[in-house]
């Protein structure tokens, strides 16, 4: 765990409740109305600092660069930890209140600083592969209770290894994108054949995802105590799910079309260096993991407050329907990455790996509508008088996350998506 330098301040006016303090400096890819070219920036308060400008001005010089006048962060991330550290240290210094290089240069500020409200955010990395885990014990227990024997809610393998599946990198999308309701095979009547229909049980899943910062060679697993060196940072993830499609298709090979239509992420990658002061222990793991999963570092989780808001179309106010914390996750990111590679599976820079739905111990901390409305048996009341059992057309789902300690806040911003009606299909034409 690193300490927080609470004396570090920026010359930029930053609200106390901002996710983007000088202690954070998350990386993203943006464009603006005057310049459509995509390039790298960091969030600071309500602004974006253009790193490509700092590079061109000679204020941010990294080994092997330039890196930031590019449409993704992959090359910078791939350049290694020494550059990650140097970039963070340099940017933090340039934004600090006691450094005049940027503080006293109005022309440079005009070129390098943009209001977040005036820019368009894009996927921060090219995503070679996407994997989604299933690592919340509370979530897995809730789902097992609903659909299996409550006394044996967890399958025998769940407490032995981080369970997951390989998803679709091609449908990892950025916050603000619309979500078209998926269609597929449903089986509403167990005694009849399936039907083709729009999904009737569309759900969100509150997750985070980590971004792989260092790959491995095929055939060479990543040791659990080395895994942290292979993780660059984290984003928020809404792993949109079609529950009724999933129910029919998942046996025997697991999620397929129910999970392929949208995996939505926040635009800012919060680095592990920024999150380090908020590290905490994972829950007690019983039985003790097999040796290859047994970490020396017992504080490999993070205290990250998470929430979900639901905003119906034409509603004035969103309703907070979930408040939970990343620290409830049973399996750590290091354990997930190690298990993923234990067969020799190759991972690459930019790969994203979802945590799985993050649920806490109480109903108000459940991380999916499936759980919150308990398989549609307990409708959720919303501001304005509406209620929901699953997500309806026109609804917007908003996820937020932040860590806070000693007056310092490090946040993710939000991931937001609005649901549009399913496409019409006429197969007889």
The residues annotated as belonging to the active site are 139
Secondary structure letter of residue 185 according to DSSP: E
**CB distance 359 to 374 below 8 Å:** no
Closest CA to 81 of 221, 223, 229: 229
Task: Tell me which residue of 422, 425, 381 sits closest to 200, measured CA to CA.
Answer: 422
Q: What is the DSSP letter of 20?
A: B
Residues 6+ apart with CB under 8 A from 69: 37, 39, 40, 52, 55, 56
Query: Which residues are CB-contacts of 34 (< 8 A; sequence separation ≥ 6)?
Result: none
DSSP string computed for 232-254? EEEEEEEE-EEHHHHHHH-TTT-
Strand, coil or helix: what is 178?
strand
Instruction: Dig out the tokens for 241 from the structure.
Output: 């799910």
Distances from the Cα of 382 to the Cα of 76, 186, 319, 371, angstroms: 43, 28, 6, 16
Q: How far is CA 141 from the centre of its chain?
A: 22
User: How many whole angstroms separate alpha carbon 255 and alpha carbon 257?
Assistant: 7
Phi-psi region for residue 384, left (φ > 0), alpha (ψ -120 to 50) or beta?
A: left
Contact 393, 181 (CB under 8 A): yes
Helices (H), 237-386: 243-249, 272-275, 333-341, 369-372
């Amino acid at each position: 765990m690193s300490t927080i330098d609470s004396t570090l301040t920026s010359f930029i006016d930053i609200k106390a409740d901002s996710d983007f303090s000088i202690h954070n400096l998350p990386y993203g890819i943006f464009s603006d109305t005057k310049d459509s070219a995509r390039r790298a920036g960091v969030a600071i308060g309500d602004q974006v600092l253009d790193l490509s400008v700092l590079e061109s001005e000679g204020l941010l010089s990294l080994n092997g660069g330039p890196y930031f006048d590019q449409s993704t962060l992959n090359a910078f991330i791939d350049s290694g930890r020494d550059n990650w550290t140097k970039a963070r240290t340099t940017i933090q210094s340039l934004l600090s209140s006691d450094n005049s290089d940027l503080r006293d240069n109005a022309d440079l500020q005009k070129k390098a600083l943009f209001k977040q409200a005036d820019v368009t955010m894009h996927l921060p990395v090219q995503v070679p592969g996407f994997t989604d885990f299933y690592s919340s014990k509370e979530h897995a227990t809730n789902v097992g209770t609903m659909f299996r024997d409550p006394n044996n809610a967890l399958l025998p393998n769940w407490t032995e290894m981080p369970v997951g599946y390989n998803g679709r990198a091609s449908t990892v999308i950025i916050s603000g994108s619309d979500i078209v309701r998926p269609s597929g095979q449903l089986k509403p009547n167990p005694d009849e054949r399936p039907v083709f229909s729009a999904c009737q049980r569309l759900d969100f899943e509150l997750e985070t995802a980590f971004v792989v910062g260092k790959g491995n060679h095929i055939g060479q697993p990543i040791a659990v105590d080395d895994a942290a060196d292979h993780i660059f940072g984290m984003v928020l993830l809404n792993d949109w799910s079609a529950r009724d499609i999933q129910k029919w298709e998942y046996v025997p090979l697991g999620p397929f079309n129910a999970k392929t239509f949208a995996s939505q992420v926040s635009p800012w990658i919060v680095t592990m260096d920024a999150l380090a002061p908020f590290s905490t222990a994972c829950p007690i793991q019983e039985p003790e993991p097999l040796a290859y999963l047994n970490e020396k570092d017992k504080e490999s989780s993070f205290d990250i407050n998470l929430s979900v808001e639901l905003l119906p179309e034409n509603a004035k106010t969103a309703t907070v329907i979930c408040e939970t914390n990343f620290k409830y996750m049973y399996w750590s990111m290091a354990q997930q990455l190690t298990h993923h590679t234990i067969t020799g599976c190759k991972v690459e820079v930019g790969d994203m790996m979802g945590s799985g739905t993050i649920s806490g111990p109480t109903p108000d901390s459940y991380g999916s509508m499936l759980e919150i409305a308990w398989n549609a048996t307990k409708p959720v009341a919303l501001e304005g008088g509406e209620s929901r059992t699953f997500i309806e057309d026109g609804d917007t789902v908003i996820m937020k996350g932040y860590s806070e300690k000693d007056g310092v806040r490090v946040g993710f911003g939000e991931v937001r998506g609005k649901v549009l009606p399913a496409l019409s299909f006429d197969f007889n034409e």
